[in-house]
């Protein structure tokens, strides 16, 4: 008989040592040693925790920059050394320890820069609230990207969706006096961009990256033109949008620190919570989600089961326009109340980076966007505090973080297999 | 259910892929559609499955005319298809893959429970041992194929189209599949089996229809000899075996010692591989795709700088050299994927013929190419290797697979070689070209060059080999003589050493299937154990099971015996 035991998967593997992480830790620990250890300012850094609380207050968090600096350095050096030892045995260091390393690195650096600034007192609530607020366009943008990419379309045009969304929101809200009409217009703006992307990428099979880039340039030019020729002609009526309301959720907003940060926000933030939850749920638990993922991974398999691949992709790209368009509304209905040429300043691209850094997963993209938002906010806060670090360098911070995040830390991450590949029947 | 095609024609522009095809698949039978690569088999299948619409003609299901606007129409009519390249989403679970397209929801939430139940039901009924919650990419190819079959059965398919289902299977898995097909036939399903592998076709089919260049050229009886079927398929008398004398060995040698290669995830792609190919002999490397053969060939040519060990050609170390240095030291290399690694499709035929020689004195001087020399070279290679081309300036991608492969072989053999390495030298090549390429490979061996052939087709291995090396999971399971039976090689390809394979020949297939699934984690140990225990008692009474056994046994009588018979006949 020729039927035999075949392809049993119980094979031993060789020890593979990847020195990338231990080396990164060692370099960062050494850097920390010189900066936040040896060069620690002898000052006490005060984090105010009770902002936004009405009925009670909690004490401030005071840290001596020197002491906390050395604690961080010792912890980082220990973890880096441990990383070398375990890797030498062929094992990865536990994820918890990796998280701990980054915690000490980020907080240590934070304490150090604030300690080095002229004023060493800051409100943690303000810092985090700002970080969340600044992440909004990136969160919406990366979710717009997610909807496209998971169904197999590369969305470089997030930037254009944000920008046109911001423009239409400002125009519509100014003309009608209603921010809600503005929000609706933002969605329509995003969908218009999506429509161009979808028609060219899906129907005419033009390279998706090229369409995306061209659309970005087109929308930047178009909104710039309309801004200077139309909006500027009558800014009082065409470019002074009412803001979306901000409201506080009772009880929840009184949780120390996170309450005021999460639950005393613009209505757009609450819409964002709902959008994130909804997309996560729909993608993982519904028929639409299963089909979307199938179409993004193996469109032909989906086609042979009677799923209309290109129609589903088309729908998803349009949906992505709705979501990313809402992100655009942030700029003109939440942040400031008027449109300005190129006011999105490349945040659509950062949103794309957040999507990749988040490994094409809803919560991954959410946290990556929050991280980028945090670095943006840090930049603002530090310049307010009067830090000795040059502001130009600080302005680079979000982008440096982006590059390292996407290139160095993700490692080999696997996107949807069919992303960027047009589906041609047959 | 009866499936009938009447004068089905499919044209793409001027090109007629199917020319008024008539075909009847009777209920409870296996109907084989036999034809070479490019004969139009896959197009016809896609027409039946609704992926293409026929230009003319009609499809009848149970004598009722039907029109399919898409696969869902075909599925609704009871037609299921097992595609050659599995239509499975690798990152999905079995249940998700099977539910896709006809998902049940409860309150908007996906509900896979019903699908899981159905999978278990079918899996138990046919002995598939498929876990609904396993992720497809983690499953062995043979199990993935069973998932494809379940996918069709869950959709109540009565007609099952199997498009070259054995192309990716080990001989053992092939026999399992043929057993499954037999069971399905017994259950009254109609099977349309597409293949160009004559051995399997003869073994399982009730009816055989042969197509060539898009036309039905005749039907044959399963009892027809392989040579008859092959002649019908190709349209002329063909010789399936290669005439070759006993090897005349010389002192040239290619010695590989402890060659190892580790992937970035720690998996051994090659593990301490050692062998010697002598001048004047062909060492054929057998194994299921993905067991290290590709990496072996690529390591020789210098594409894996991380490989360790030693490879000496006539005493000269090749490991650690760049690909260019390896080529210059006299190694000819035919890569397994000609369109990806062997040719530049948009370059002309003449340019492709000098891809690795463009900077030699013969074809370049100063910084410019010698167009006249290149053209003369193309003329010479074209006539010597019988490359059928319009003009040598045509893009290589415009040629048929066979002619493209001849370009690669011609280019590699146009130098004086000290070692010739060819991976899948005749994959996707028509029978006529196979014969030609095989002759050239044997001619190179007779010149005294050590030749290393990597092939997943056992027929090709038997046709060319002087000795056979079998790979499994990156390890060399042993080197067998060229007259080792198929069943022994099959077991070696599945991880047995030569000695084990010979000793193992009489084990019960069901027991082994269960053991194998348990090892793969497809079913629990206990489940496998219960199958093993109940197997002997059950099979005595179980009609399906005994006939499955019978068909596997029948498979054993046929194997490569065909080849030897034919060659004996020729010698006589």
Which contacts qualify for A54-60: CB closer than 8 Å, 24 or more apart?
A: A54/A254, A55/A254, A58/A256
Give the mean model confidence (pLDDT) for residues B481-498: 86
Q: Which of B234, B262, B285 is the last residue of a domain?
A: B234
Q: Quick one: average pLDDT of B239-257? A: 85
The pLDDT of residue A9 is above 90: no
Q: Which of B39-43, B127-131, B326-330 is least confident?
A: B39-43
Which DSSP letter does residue A254 get?
Answer: G
Q: Is the pLDDT of residue B14 over 50?
A: yes
Residue A376: HSE in the Cβ half-sphere, 13 Å Cα cutoff: 22
Q: Is A199 on the interface with B (CB under 8 A)?
A: no
- Asked if A294 reaches chain B (Cβ–Cβ under 8 Å), the answer is yes
Question: Do A241 and A280 have their domain in common?
Answer: yes
pLDDT for residue A227 is more than 70: yes
The percent of residues above 70 in pLDDT, for chain B, comes to: 87
Determine the angle formed by the axes of helices B509-520 and B525-541, rounding to 10 degrees: 160
Angle at which helices B226-234 and B431-446 cross, to 10°: 110
- The predicted-structure confidence for A237-262, as pLDDT tens digits, reads as follows 999 999 999 989 888 888 888 888 89
Q: Which of A116, A144, A162 is the last residue of a domain?
A: A116
The pLDDT of residue B366 is above 90: no
Last-in-domain residue among A86, A116, A146: A116
Cβ neighbours of A7 in B, within 8 Å: 140-142, 170, 288, 473, 494-495, 516, 520
Residue A288's CATH number: 1.10.3470.10
Residue B222 CB-half CA count within 13 A:
14
A43 & A157 share domain: no
B156 & B286 share domain? no
Of the partner residues A10, A16, A306, the one whose CB lies closest to the CB of residue B72: A306
Angstroms from B289 CA to nearest CA on chain A: 11
Tell me if chain B has a CB within 8 Å of the CB of A42.
Answer: no
Is residue A5 assigned to a domain? no
d(CA A286, CA A291): 9
B23 and B127 in one domain? yes
The whole-angstrom separation of Cα B13 and Cα A298 is 28
Is A306 within 8 Å of B89 when comparing Cβ atoms? no
Q: Give the CATH number for residue B491.
A: 3.40.50.300
| Domain span holding position A394 | 125-406
Task: Kindly give the residue spans of alpha helices, DSSP state H, lying in B82-156.
Answer: 94-99, 113-126, 141-154
- A293 reaches B (C-beta below 8 A): yes
- Judged by a CB distance cut-off of 8 A, whether residue A302 touches chain B is yes
Q: Are residues A97 and A179 in the same domain?
A: no
CB contact, 8 Å: A89 with chain B?
no
Closest among B242, B319, B284 to B422, alpha carbons compared:
B284
Q: Are residues B273 and B209 in the same domain?
A: no
B478: pLDDT strictly greater than 60: yes
Band (B343; pLDDT cuts 50, 70, 90) = very high
Domain check: are A63 and A211 in the same one?
no
Angle at A363 between CA A360 and CA A368, to 5 degrees: 75
A8 within some domain = no
Regarding whether B26 and B73 lie in a shared domain, the answer is yes
Of B100, B171, B266, the CB nearest to A13: B266
One domain for residues B346 and B366: yes
- A301/B87 CB distance under 8 A: yes
Across A205-222, average pLDDT? 95
Q: Identify the residue with better confidence: A257 or A201.
A: A201
pLDDT at A7: 39
What rounded mean pLDDT belongs to chain B? 83
> Exposure string (b/e) for B546-568, b if CB count within 10 Å is 16 or more?
eebbebbeebeeebbebbeebbe
Whether residue A420 is contained in a domain is answered as no
Residues A173 and A247 in one domain: yes
Mutual angle of helices A20-32 and A95-116, in 10-degree steps: 30
Beta strands B368-369 and B364-365: pairing type? antiparallel
Q: How far apart are CA A317 and CA A311, in angstroms?
A: 10
Tell me if A243 is assigned to some domain. Answer: yes
The model's pLDDT over A117-176, given as tens digits with 9 standing for 90+, comes to 888 888 888 899 999 999 999 999 999 999 999 999 999 999 999 999 999 999 999 999
With CA atoms as reference, report the closest residue to B304 among B261, B357, B267: B261
Residue A415 lies in a domain: no
Residues B486 and B531 in one domain: no
Mutate to test the interface with B, among A4, A5, A288 (most CBs of B within 10 A): A4
Q: What are the angstrom distances between the C-alpha of B184 and each of B3, B115, B203, B204, B429?
A: 16, 20, 15, 12, 32
**Are residue A24 and residue A162 in the same domain, yes or no?**
no
Q: pLDDT by residue (tens digit) across A15-24? A: 777 788 888 8
> Does B206 share its domain with B309?
no
DSSP codes, B307-358: -EEEEEETTEE-TT--HHHHHHTTEEEE-S-IIIII--TTSBHHHHTTTTTT
Q: Return the pLDDT at B233.
A: 80
Q: Are residues B438 and B393 in the same domain?
A: yes
Cβ-based contacts of B110 with chain A (< 8 Å): 285-287, 289-290
A 10 A CB-CB count for A424 gives 10
- Asked if residue B320 and residue B454 are part of one domain, the reply reads yes
Closest partner residue to A4 among B87, B141, B504, by Cβ? B504
For range B258-276, the mean pLDDT: 89
8 Å CB contact between B143 and A320: no
Domain limits at B307? 250-501
The model's confidence at residue B533, banded by pLDDT at 50, 70 and 90, is very low
Clarify whether residues A160 and A87 are in a common domain.
no
For residue B63, the 8-state DSSP code is T
The reported pLDDT for the residue numbered A12 is 63
Closest Cβ opposite residue B110 in set A15, A286, A298: A286
Whether A266 and A339 map to the same domain: the answer is yes
Of B81, B105, B490, which has the smallest distance from its Cβ to A2's Cβ? B490
Q: How many CB pairs under 8 A join A and B?
A: 167
Is A285 in Cβ contact with B110 (below 8 Å)?
A: yes
């Amino acid at each position: 008989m020729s039927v035999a035991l075949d392809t049993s998967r119980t094979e031993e593997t060789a020890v593979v040592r990847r020195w990338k992480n231990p080396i990164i830790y060692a370099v960062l620990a050494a850097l920390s040693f010189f900066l936040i250890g040896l060069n620690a300012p002898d000052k006490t850094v005060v984090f105010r925790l009770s902002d936004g609380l009405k009925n009670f207050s909690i004490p401030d968090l005071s840290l001596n920059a020197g002491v906390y600096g050395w604690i961080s350095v010792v912890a980082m050096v220990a973890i880096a050394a441990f990383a070398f030892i375990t890797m030498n045995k062929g094992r990865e260091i536990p994820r918890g320890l990796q998280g701990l390393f980054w915690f000490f690195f980020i907080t240590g650096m934070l304490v150090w820069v604030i300690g080095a600034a002229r004023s060493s007192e800051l409100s943690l609530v303000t810092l985090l609230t700002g970080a969340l607020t600044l992440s909004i366009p990136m969160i919406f943008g990366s979710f717009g990207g997610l909807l496209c990419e998971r169904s197999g379309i590369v969305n470089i045009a997030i930037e254009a969706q944000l920008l046109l969304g911001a423009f239409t929101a400002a125009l519509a809200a100014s003309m009608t006096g209603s921010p809600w009409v503005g929000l609706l217009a933002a969605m329509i703006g995003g969908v218009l961009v999506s429509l161009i992307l979808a028609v060219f990428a899906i129907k005419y099979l033009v390279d998706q990256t090229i369409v995306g880039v061209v659309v970005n340039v087109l929308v930047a030019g178009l909104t710039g033109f309309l801004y200077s020729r139309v909006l500027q002609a009558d800014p009082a009526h065409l470019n002074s949008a009412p803001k979306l309301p901000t409201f506080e959720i009772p009880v929840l907003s009184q949780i120390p620190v996170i309450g005021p940060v999460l639950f005393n926000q613009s209505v757009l933030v609450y819409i964002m919570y709902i959008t994130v939850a909804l997309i996560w749920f729909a993608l993982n638990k519904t028929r639409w989600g299963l089909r979307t993922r199938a179409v993004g991974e193996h469109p032909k398999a989906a086609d042979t089961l009677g799923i209309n691949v290109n129609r589903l992709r088309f729908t998803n790209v349009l949906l992505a326009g709705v979501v990313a368009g809402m992100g655009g509304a942030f700029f003109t209905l939440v942040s400031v109340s008027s449109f300005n040429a190129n006011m999105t300043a490349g945040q659509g691209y950062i949103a794309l980076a957040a999507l990749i850094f988040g490994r094409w997963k809803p919560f991954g993209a959410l946290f990556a966007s929050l991280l980028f938002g945090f670095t943006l906010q840090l930049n603002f806060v530090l310049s307010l505090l009067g830090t000795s670090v040059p502001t130009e360098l600080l302005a680079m911070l979000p982008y440096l973080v982006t590059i390292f995040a996407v290139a160095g830390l993700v490692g080999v991450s696997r996107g949807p297999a069919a992303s960027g590949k047009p589906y041609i029947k047959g | 259910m009866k499936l009938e095609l009447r004068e089905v024609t499919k044209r793409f522009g001027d090109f007629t892929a199917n020319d008024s095809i008539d075909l009847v698949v009777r209920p409870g039978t296996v109907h084989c559609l036999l034809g070479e690569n490019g004969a139009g088999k896959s197009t016809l299948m896609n027409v039946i499955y609704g992926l293409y619409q026929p230009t003319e003609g009609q499809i009848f299901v149970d004598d009722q005319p039907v029109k399919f606007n898409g696969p869902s129409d075909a599925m609704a009519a009871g037609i299921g298809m097992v595609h050659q390249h599995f239509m499975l989403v690798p990152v999905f679970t079995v249940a998700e893959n099977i539910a896709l397209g006809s998902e049940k929801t409860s309150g908007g939430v996906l509900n896979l429970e019903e699908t899981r139940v159905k999978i278990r039901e079918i899996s138990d009924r046919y002995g598939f041992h498929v876990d609904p919650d396993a992720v497809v990419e983690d499953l062995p190819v043979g199990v993935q194929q069973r998932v494809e079959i379940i996918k069709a059965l869950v959709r109540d398919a009565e007609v099952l189209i199997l498009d070259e289902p054995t192309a990716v299977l080990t001989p053992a898995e092939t026999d399992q599949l043929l057993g499954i097909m037999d069971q399905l036939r017994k259950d009254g399903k109609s099977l349309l089996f597409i293949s160009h592998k004559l051995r399997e076709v003869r073994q399982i089919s009730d009816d055989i229809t042969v197509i060539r260049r898009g036309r039905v050229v005749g039907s044959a009886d399963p009892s027809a000899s392989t040579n008859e079927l092959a002649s019908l398929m190709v349209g002329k008398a063909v010789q399936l075996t290669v005439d070759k004398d006993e090897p005349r060995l010389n002192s040239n040698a290619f010695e590989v010692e402890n060659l190892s290669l580790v992937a970035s995830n720690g998996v051994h792609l090659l593990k301490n591989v050692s062998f010697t190919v002598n001048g004047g002999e062909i060492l054929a490397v057998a194994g299921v795709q993905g067991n290290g053969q590709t990496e072996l060939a690529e390591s020789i040519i210098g594409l894996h700088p991380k490989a360790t060990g030693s490879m000496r050609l006539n005493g000269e170390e090749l490991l650690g050299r760049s690909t260019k240095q390896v080529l210059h030291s006299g190694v000819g290399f035919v890569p397994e994927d000609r369109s990806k690694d062997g040719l530049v499709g948009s370059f002309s035929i003449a340019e492709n013929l000098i891809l690795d020689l463009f900077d030699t004195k013969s074809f370049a001087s100063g910084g410019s190419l010698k167009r006249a020399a290149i053209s003369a070279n193309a003329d010479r290679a074209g006539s010597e290797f019988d490359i059928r081309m319009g003009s040598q300036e045509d893009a290589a991608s415009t040629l048929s697979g066979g002619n493209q492969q001849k370009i690669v072989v011609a280019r590699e053999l146009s130098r004086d070689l000290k070692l010739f390495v060819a991976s899948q030298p005749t994959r996707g090549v028509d029978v006529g070209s196979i014969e030609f390429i095989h002759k050239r490979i044997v001619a190179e061996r007779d010149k005294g060059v050590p030749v290393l052939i990597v092939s997943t087709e056992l027929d090709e291995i038997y046709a060319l080999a002087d000795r056979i090396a079998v790979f499994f999971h990156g390890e060399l399971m042993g080197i067998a003589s060229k007259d080792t039976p198929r069943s022994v090689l099959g077991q070696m390809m599945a991880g047995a050493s030569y000695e084990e394979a010979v000793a193992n020949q009489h084990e019960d297939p069901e027991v082994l299937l269960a053991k194998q699934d348990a090892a793969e984690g497809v079913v629990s140990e206990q489940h496998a154990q219960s199958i093993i225990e109940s197997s002997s008692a059950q099979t005595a009474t179980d009609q399906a099971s005994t006939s499955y056994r019978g068909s596997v046994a029948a498979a054993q009588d046929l194997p490569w015996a065909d080849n030897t018979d034919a060659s004996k006949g020729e010698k006589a």
